[in-house]
Structures are given as C-alpha cells and as structure tokens.
Amino acid sequence: MTAFPYALEEDSLPCLGLIVLQVDETIEHEFRSLFPPERARLHVTRVPSGADLTPGTIAAMETALPAAARLLPHGRAMDVVGYACTSGATLIGADRVRDLVTRATQTRAVTDPLTAAMARCHALGLARIGIVSPYIASVADPICAAFAAQGIAVPDALSFGEQIEVRVARIAPGSVADAARAVAARTPVDGLFLSCTNLRTRDILDPLAQELGLPVLSSNACLAWHMAALAGCNGPEQE
C-alpha cells in the first residue's frame, strides 16, 4: 500500500463541549439547532445520572463528572465546556464543577445553567425573578437560595414536584407556559426563569415574553447564551 500525502488544516470555528446527563432527552436536540455546524463545533459527552432526580443522585454525579469530561475530544482545547444540569451545579457547586472539568479536559472556560442564568439576570438587570421547575422541594429550594445569595430575589416559585427524569422530558410545554403565567399573575417580578435542561421550553420562550411583557429565560437558553459569550462567537440571543 502506498501512503498518499495529505495536508493538515486547523478548524477556526469555536469549539464547545457539552456534558449532558444520561437521562436528558432535550438539551442536546436544542443545542444542535442553536449551534449549527457553520457557527461552532459542538462536542457532546454524557455523564451517568439516576432515573430519579434527588439530592443523592445529583451528588453522585460529582464522582462521574471527570470521566465524562475526559471523553470530550482532545485534538484541540475547548473554548468552553458547559455542564448541562441546573440542579447538579447548584448542589455540587459551580466552583467544584469548574475544578472537576478543568482537571479532566483542556478548556478555556467552564459554565453551567445556574451560573449562566445568574449572568443573564445581571446582564438584563433582573432583581426579582419567578421560577418554574419540575423539581421536588429538596432540589428546588436550593436553586432559589442560590439566586438569593447572588442578590437576585425569588419572591415566588412553582414546581411540578416531579423527580422521575423520563417524565420531566415529557412535561408538555403548554403546562410549563401555564405555570409561568400563574407565577407572573400572582407575584410582581422582573422576569421568569424556567429551570431544568430537560424541560422542553425553547418554543414557548418568545411567545411568553411577548404575552407577559417580561423576559422569560430558561436553563438551556441561558447556558447557550453564556457559552457563546465565553467562546466569543455569534451564539443564540435571548431577548
């Protein structure tokens, strides 16, 4: 066999890594449309996660996170890696997530939906937000407390009380929209945050924002916006 000569060519597009929960059926699909191939190189790895969403199963992800990060391609450094779990980032801690990921793979930056949502709230000047989530109280309450600790009040929150992840991915977007309307109707807020990467929210964000006259954020939209900002690319915008 004759070896044929070839040239090497470096890819100049931003390189994004996404660590997705094994049980998540939503965010990868949304990110593929938010970051099409002509905009960025998106590489996805999965981290083992329990079928039930509880503080215990979320904490267990901490030990599996480095192995998942190491499965991202090593041909070039990532511009940014996103750990796609709002509740996981809350209970493990954003600083701990960042440390675990940067030890396991080469990247310029690490973020997560909680950190991204707080950054988006500050960028939009939102001081009071209402939260809609699928979580049980032991998962939902720490997220509200995390926002409050960063100076973003959460005067009202609604949850579906669901802890089985396979059901979370099947909660109708219309039900999420109804919950958002209920929060906005009963409590004065500057904006709404739809929390959980497994909730199907992409198609309801803009219509809800126009209907309610409020910014409506989501875990996935905020994470995409923050990753694009950190990578310095023209990413999706969240009005």
pLDDT digit string, tens, across residues 85-107: 999 999 999 999 999 999 999 99
DSSP alpha helix (H) spans, 71-216? 86-92, 94-104, 113-124, 137-149, 165-168, 173-186, 205-212
Whole-angstrom Cα distance, residue 82 to residue 224?
9
pLDDT at residue 238 tops 50: no
pLDDT tens for each residue of 179-221: 999 999 999 999 999 999 999 999 999 999 999 999 999 999 9
Beta pairing class for 15-21 and 191-194: unpaired
Q: Residue 237: pLDDT above 70?
A: no
Could you give the domains of the chain? 15-112+222-231 (3.40.50.12500), 114-218 (3.40.50.1860)
For residue 239, what pLDDT band results from cuts at 50, 70 and 90? Answer: very low
Q: Is the pLDDT of residue 119 over 90?
A: yes
Q: What are phi and psi of 195, to 5 degrees?
A: -95, 130
